[in-house]
Amino acid sequence: MRRYLGRKLLIYLLTFFLAVTIDWMIPRFMPGDPIMNVMSRIGAVVNPSAAQAMYEYYRHVFGLDLPIWQQYFNFWNSLLHGDLGISIYVFPTPVKTVLMRAVPYDIFLLIPSILLSWWAGNHFGAFAARSKWLDNTVSPIGYILTATPYMWLGILLAWLFGIVLGLFPIAGAYSFELRPALSLTFISSVLKHWFLPFASLFLVGFGGWAIGMRNMIIYELEADYSHYLEALGAPRKLIRQYAFQNSILPQITGLALQLGVIVAGALVTEVVFSYPGIGYLLLAAIQNQDYFLIQGCFLFIIIGVLIANFGIDIIYLIVDPRTRRGMAGETA
Amino acid sequence: MRKRLLSVLSLGVVLSLLIACGPTPQPQTVVQTVEVEKVVTKEVEKTVVETVQVEKKVVETVQVEKPVEVVVTATPAAPTEAVYKREETLYVSGAAWGPASTWNPFQPGSLANTTGTIGNVYEFLFAFDPMTGEFIPWLAESGNWTDATTYEVTLRQGLTWSDGQPLTAADVRFTFELGQKYAALWFSPVWRYLTGVEAMDDTHLKFTFNDPLYQEWANYLYNLPIVPKHIWETRTEEEITTGTNENPIGSGAYLYETRSEDRNVWIRNENWWGIKVFGKPAPKRIVDIRFSSNNVALGAVIKGEVDLSNNFLPGVATLVQKGYVKTYFADAPYMLSANTAVLFLNTTKKPMDDAKFRRALAFAIDVPSIVNVAYANLVKAASPTGLLPSLSRFDDPDVVARLGYTFDTAKAKKMLADAGYKDVNGDGFVEAPDGSKIELEVTCPFGWTDWMAAIDIIAQSAQAAGINIKAATPDYGAWNTALQGGTFDMTLNNWAGMSNTPWTLYNLLFRHPIQEQMQSGNFGRYDNKEMFDLVDALAKVPVTDEVGMKAACSKIQELMLTDMPMIPLWYNGLWAQWNDSIWTNWPSEAPDAPKILPSTWSGYWQMGGLMTLINLKPAQP
Amino acid sequence: MKPKKKNEFLYFALRNRKLRIGLAIILFFLLLALFGPLLIHNAPFDYVNPMGAEPPSSQYWFGTTFFGQDVFAQFVLGLRATFLVGAIGGGLGTLIGILIGFTAGYRGGIVDELLNMLTNIVLVIPTLAVLLIIAAYLQVRSILTECLFIGLTAWPWAARAIRAQTFSLRAREFVDLARMSGMKPTRIIFTEIAPNMMSYLVMTFILQFGGAILNAATLDFIGLGPTNAISLGLMMQYAVLWGALLLGMWWWFIPPGLAITAIVGALYVMNVGLDEVFNPKLREM
């Protein structure tokens, strides 16, 4: 068990290091001059001598006047102190503030959709594997759902439920007539705005897990131990239960692997629904050449994915006794 | 009245007693101040005269008891409204393009994120109505040139800041002198010809000049926000030039209330000095929404969630026909013209350094298709001089007749051939007279869908005439860098908006001197001393001398159309569509409607946006 | 031995319903992509309809866009681009995955550890974030550059799967036999291991193909797709930007998304069908 966790930790630390380094390189190697961009964003400076002074000022503020290696160390230093710099797009708000405003929305959107779609999809897939008839009628839904591009589904849902039926709003995190407050109106508004983005992420994920689970269960049902139990006269339900338990393991690892894809899906969904999460912020930052905000978003996404991965590894450890005992089971 | 005064004072005493017992919450936003005043003024609303005097007294009380503002939040008598009533709120969109981050009126670029700071909170000496060409007295009651180098301004009586202090000539003088102290502020160049500002008393100012640029000065009159001296004089240079100025104190009709990533909320200033002059604006709150892109705005407009949308909405013609929205004109072009979209040619690159090539290109571009297809008739083709319809009196019809251009592929081909551009290698595109290949790119920022369609048409029509131009859409940042660094081939730009003078446009087109970074005009780096002198001469013509201005413009236009360093193509619309289910009396061409600009864009509040706001009436009284 | 095996596969392949359906759908779209452009008279970006947007008619089979462009023309050319990205992007990803997966699985030891670490690192980093940033560096993007990105970031999936398979096959007797008889490693790989993994490789390629198409569609939709071509994702993006559904122009928006869903869905179905064909245990269901 220690070996397993140790290996995982090592990989995550290496990944973090690599990701942070790539992250740091972003403003330095992107075409264009970030300082000029800042200056033109915050207002045209007509006076040439004043322009030079401002240029130097901003170079200093963003720390770009130091030698490269020092900049790299300073970056790590400020990172560990929680300072991610100042945003250009939302000058002069610090990057961390901008990101922290967006993180709750992402967590609110991603965690329920990931967990619910995983849980519901797995059970549904197991359900579909019970009989041929069920399989043939229910599986196609799974295939269609998982093959649907996130944004297309999002737009269709927005159009159908938001515009044609008018049941849900199609943009923003909460209604424009409200201020955040712990009131029923506010909470219900937040939920209403949350529902459609959640639904698009949920449906696509659901399809994928359902299909995966169905395939796994069928595979398990054809394994030797299943036939053996059947020969012993065990009830179908028991066999299915064992098959399910065995199939869950690869699905857990699958969840960890899918995190990157799900983050991508969340990004486009946020764009479609103007939901102010990190993915949406990242896109805006790229479009506005706000290097420091890009850095911050990327970093947050990486950290989030790494933490989630680690969490899933721990869960796997709890669920699969083989890894606990250091047996061959799922290797890294 | 004495009884009322007594009750007011006793209320103050009671409240101050409450402070002593109550908790000390965090400092709240300015809104709370308003709440306090509101509670009191209710009692005295009846008599106008008394209101004025009592208001002043109440304000003083609040000033002394600073903690009072804070405690009010604790008392249930004045709760913060968590839900805005629909019939009291005006929802606008289309002006902000990023989350609000600063309320500093001296940061013009960032104000794209908090539009309304100038206009709602900060005000200016005059407002300008491009429809009539008149200056509307705002903070100033009057202003005129007493001689060639002196301009005198008389302020109105009774102007106040939102914290209760009076707005006097000292504030105006202070604001102007900030430009003298700090070269980084955008209006500091005025001190090139402004030599001094004198406050003769509380309401009279004298500006003295040395060789004044009359045309530019007129711009400052309605574009410079006046800030309170008693708050800004203690600020450092850094705070003034790059600070956020949270909780702004201004003189305007609205106060900043709150914001989130996608909206700014302004709440009406019940003590605005302008209530006596212009009337009280009907909406209690303005919620300025920032949509992530125009199609999302379209969805909100269709659902009726937005009152006024200043976005470019695809398919507006369809929306108008189906009755979702109304626009200024009931028929094409639906919109007023806001600014000229000009195709800048980078004159430092071959073959755009050849005036003959540039002129041929002007005839090759299919502007009618841009108007009809890309914009579905929401815009109009521009005059070759580039001046907006509101300034069309400065077009020289003779120059336009001789040197103007229209879409004529055959003529473009002939002009190219005459200038020595022939297709030597048979690929369908012409080469330069020296034989070198011509491969050019016309660009616009990605996501500006209407411009993307326009540059597609430009590229296609140029190719039909034999010029190898392809359309490219880099992201905004890359586009902006190329624009200001002069590395593009040809690109669109429309930064010269409505103005009181043709000089604004020509100053943008022929900005000089040429620097490494051209940040506010002449992106194609057209270097012609003769033209620069002509534009400078225009700047020095007094605003009242229309004949002189016309003569100066005529010379500029003659040189411009002969050399064609940039090609004015069409007038971008002042995108504005609204629904009148909650608010009515919007401006339009209808006979009894106000004839003003319905725009909340940055820089347009003082050109009609505020007046539109003030004119609004509730649909259901 | 070999011919009978092939016949056996073919027999079951043609009988498998999932495979038949999936293949049929893919072939339909492939034919449309290959021969469709011969049917169109208009270039995809030409403004052919002065009336602007119009629903499908006999003249314009899929109607016209907001600007009067032929949607069908855009659709068939977009199909081509989509298949290209799937094939090249997916192919590249599979190739790199095979290289790394084979090497890691066959060599074992320190090589395996290192490659495994590399795979895991690339796997954890959310590829879309990286793609966004890279794509933003380039001001002009072509379909081929998009294929390149996608291939370079999608390989970890294939590498993992192939490595696992290689591991299990390497330990088998016939491989040991081949090694003992002195065969060179490359020959062993190509003549002994590969044929047994063929099924796996095919299925991996199919999954990569589908994944590449979805990835490309996402990139295009956000605005980081090719700047000089048309693809299904780009069609969707334009349709959304110009409010197609909001203004009732469903013919502009629905076909591209439907096509992608159909193609990728068919690929997944084919994948499951192939699994059943190659794995006799699954055939009963």
Which residue, B606, B596, B612, B614, is CA-closest to B220?
Answer: B606
Q: What's the rounded Cα separation, in Å, for the pair A179 and C21? A: 53
Residue C74: C-alpha distances to residues A119, C30, C31, C61, C215 (Å): 40, 15, 16, 11, 20
Q: Give the best residue of A26, A29, A30, A46 to mutate against chain B (max B CB count within 10 A).
A: A46
CB contact under 8 A, B481 and A288: no
On chain B, the residues whose CB falls within 8 A of the CB of C66 are: 314-315, 376
DSSP B371: I
On chain A, the residues whose CB falls within 8 A of the CB of B82 are: 178-179, 181, 183, 185-186
pLDDT tens for each residue of C179-193: 778 777 777 767 776
Q: Which amino acid, B426? A: G
On chain B, the residues whose CB falls within 8 A of the CB of C132 are: none
Report pLDDT for B377: 83
Report pLDDT for B159: 92
C190-197 contacts, C-beta under 8 A, 24 or more apart: C193/C106, C193/C166, C193/C169, C196/C169, C197/C162, C197/C165, C197/C166, C197/C169
- Between positions 212 and 241 of A, the ones with CB within 8 A of C are 215, 218-219, 222-223
State whether residue C10 sits within 8 Å of chain A by CB: no
A15-18 contacts, C-beta under 8 A, 24 or more apart: A15/A302, A15/A306, A15/C120, A15/C121, A15/C124, A15/C125, A16/A302, A16/A303, A16/A306, A18/C121, A18/C125
Report the gap between the CA of C47 and the closest CA in chain B (Å). 8
In this prediction, residue B411 has a pLDDT band, given cuts at 50, 70 and 90, of very high
State whether residue C242 sits within 8 Å of chain B by CB: yes
Better-scored residue on pLDDT, B584 or B480: B584
On chain B, the residues whose CB falls within 8 A of the CB of C243 are: 294-295, 298-299, 313-315
Name the stretches of chain A with pLDDT < 50: 44-46, 328-332
Using CB atoms, pick whichever of C236, C265, C272 lies closest to residue A147: C265
In this prediction, residue B578 has a pLDDT band, given cuts at 50, 70 and 90, of very high
CB contact under 8 A, B373 and C67: yes
Q: What's the rounded Cα separation, in Å, for the pair B111 and B117? A: 7
Using CB atoms, pick whichever of A135, A302, A332 lies closest to residue C125: A302
Using CB atoms, pick whichever of B81, B102, B478 lies closest to residue A31: B478
**Chain C residue with the nearest C-alpha to that of B446:** C223
Count interface pairs A-B at CB distance under 8 A.
149
Better-scored residue on pLDDT, B39 or C144: C144
State whether residue A19 sits within 8 Å of chain C by CB: yes
Better-scored residue on pLDDT, B479 or B529: B529
Report the gap between the CA of C155 and the closest CA in chain B (Å). 28
Q: Give the best residue of C45, C47, C245 to mutate against chain B (max B CB count within 10 A).
A: C47
Using CB atoms, pick whichever of B481, B484, B520 lies closest to residue A46: B520
Report pLDDT for C218: 87
Report pLDDT for B113: 67
Better-scored residue on pLDDT, B555 or B113: B555
Report pLDDT for C189: 67
**Chain B residue with the nearest C-alpha to that of C137:** B478
State whether residue C186 sits within 8 Å of chain A by CB: no
Q: Which amino acid, C268? A: Y
Residue with tokens 């009809």: B372
ipTM higher than the 0.85 cut: no
Using CB atoms, pick whichever of C130, C246, C263 lies closest to residue A163: C246
Report pLDDT for B491: 94
pLDDT tens for each residue of B89-122: 999 988 877 777 788 888 766 666 677 888 889 9
**Chain C residue with the nearest C-alpha to that of A291:** C133
State whether residue C223 sits within 8 Å of chain B by CB: yes
In this prediction, residue C134 has a pLDDT band, given cuts at 50, 70 and 90, of confident
Report pLDDT for B52: 33
- Number of Cβ atoms within 10 Å of the Cβ of B53: 13
Across B4-13, B119-128, B188-197, least confident range: B4-13
Contacts of B445 (CB under 8 A, 6+ apart): B451, B473, B474, B475, B476, B479, B480
pLDDT tens for each residue of B191-207: 989 999 999 998 999 99
- Between positions 106 and 125 of C, the ones with CB within 8 A of A are 116-117, 120-121, 123-125
CB contact under 8 A, A274 and B91: no
Residue C90, SS3 per DSSP: helix
CB contact under 8 A, A33 and B481: yes
C188-195 contacts, C-beta under 8 A, 24 or more apart: C189/C102, C189/C106, C193/C106, C193/C166, C193/C169
CB contact under 8 A, B242 and A92: yes
In this prediction, residue B48 has a pLDDT band, given cuts at 50, 70 and 90, of very low
pLDDT tens for each residue of B372-406: 888 888 889 999 999 998 888 999 999 999 999 99
Q: What's the rounded Cα separation, in Å, for the pair A250 and A282? A: 32
Better-scored residue on pLDDT, B443 or B426: B443
SS3 sequence, B301-365?
A: HHCCCCCEECCCCCCHHHHHHHCCCECCCCCCCCCCEEEEEEEEECCCCCCCCCHHHHHHHHHHC
Sign of the CA dihedral C166, C168, C173, C179?
Answer: positive
- Number of Cβ atoms within 10 Å of the Cβ of B127: 23
- Number of Cβ atoms within 10 Å of the Cβ of A73: 11
The verdict on whether omega for the bond into residue B333 sits within 30 degrees of 0, i.e. cis, is yes
Using CB atoms, pick whichever of C121, C245, C261 lies closest to residue A18: C121
Using CB atoms, pick whichever of B188, B296, B481 lies closest to residue A37: B481
DSSP B27: -
Q: Which domains does chain C have, with CATH numbers?
A: 30-284 (1.10.3720.10)
State whether residue B469 sits within 8 Å of chain C by CB: no
CB contact under 8 A, C246 and B472: no
Q: Kindly report the length of chain B.
A: 621
For the question of whether the overall pTM of this predicted structure is more than 0.80, the answer is no
The first and second tokens of residue A244, run together, are 């399910």
The yes-or-no verdict on residue B442 having pLDDT over 90 is yes
In this prediction, residue B61 has a pLDDT band, given cuts at 50, 70 and 90, of very low
CB contact under 8 A, A19 and C125: yes
pLDDT tens for each residue of C27-75: 999 998 888 888 887 777 777 777 777 888 888 888 888 888 888 989 9
- ∠ CA A234-A237-A238, nearest 5°, is 55
Q: What's the rounded Cα separation, in Å, for the pair C79 and C231? A: 7
On chain C, the residues whose CB falls within 8 A of the CB of B295 are: 240-243, 246
- Between positions 68 and 107 of C, the ones with CB within 8 A of B are 68
pLDDT tens for each residue of C91-125: 999 999 988 988 887 777 788 888 888 888 887 77
The first and second tokens of residue A33, run together, are 């001059």
Class of residue C171 by CB neighbours under 10 A (exposed 0-12, middle 13-18, buried 19+)? exposed
Q: For the residues C236-249, what does the mean pLDDT come to?
A: 83
Q: Are strands B337-345 and B490-493 parallel, antiparallel or unpaired?
A: antiparallel
Using CB atoms, pick whichever of C47, C140, C240 lies closest to residue B295: C240
CB contact under 8 A, A297 and C275: no
Using CB atoms, pick whichever of A31, A143, A272 lies closest to residue C268: A143
Residue C33: C-alpha distances to residues B1, C80, C276 (Å): 87, 5, 29
State whether residue B618 sits within 8 Å of chain C by CB: no
String of b and e for C242-273 (b: at least 16 CB within 10 Å)? bbbbbbebebbbbbbbebbbbbbbbbbbbbbb
- For every residue of B151-200, DSSP letters joined together read EEEEEPTT-B-TTSPBP-HHHHHHHHHHHHH-TTSTTGGGGGTEEEEEE-
Side-chain half-sphere exposure of A153, counting CA atoms within 13 A: 26
Using CB atoms, pick whichever of C120, C214, C285 lies closest to residue A149: C214
Q: Give the best residue of A36, A42, A164, A175 to mutate against chain B (max B CB count within 10 A).
A: A42
User: Chains contacting B with at least 3 CB pairs below 8 Å?
Assistant: A, C
**Chain A residue with the nearest C-alpha to that of B519:** A44
On chain C, the residues whose CB falls within 8 A of the CB of A156 are: 245, 257
Using CB atoms, pick whichever of A15, A29, A163 lies closest to residue C124: A15
**Chain A residue with the nearest C-alpha to that of B181:** A50
Q: What's the rounded Cα separation, in Å, for the pair C276 and C285? A: 9
Better-scored residue on pLDDT, B239 or C171: B239
Rounded (10°) CA dihedral B8, B12, B18, B19: 150
In this prediction, residue B28 has a pLDDT band, given cuts at 50, 70 and 90, of very low
Q: What's the rounded Cα separation, in Å, for the pair B413 and A188? A: 64
Report pLDDT for C135: 67
Which residue, B335, B342, B451, is CA-closest to B386?
Answer: B342
Report pLDDT for A226: 85
Q: What's the rounded Cα separation, in Å, for the pair B479 and B448? A: 12
Report the gap between the CA of A145 and the closest CA in chain C (Å). 8
**Chain A residue with the nearest C-alpha to that of B478:** A32
Q: What's the rounded Cα separation, in Å, for the pair B93 and B97? A: 10
DSSP B601: S
**Chain B residue with the nearest C-alpha to that of A273:** B296
Class of residue B463 by CB neighbours under 10 A (exposed 0-12, middle 13-18, buried 19+)? middle
Residue with tokens 């996404």: A301
In this prediction, residue B254 has a pLDDT band, given cuts at 50, 70 and 90, of very high
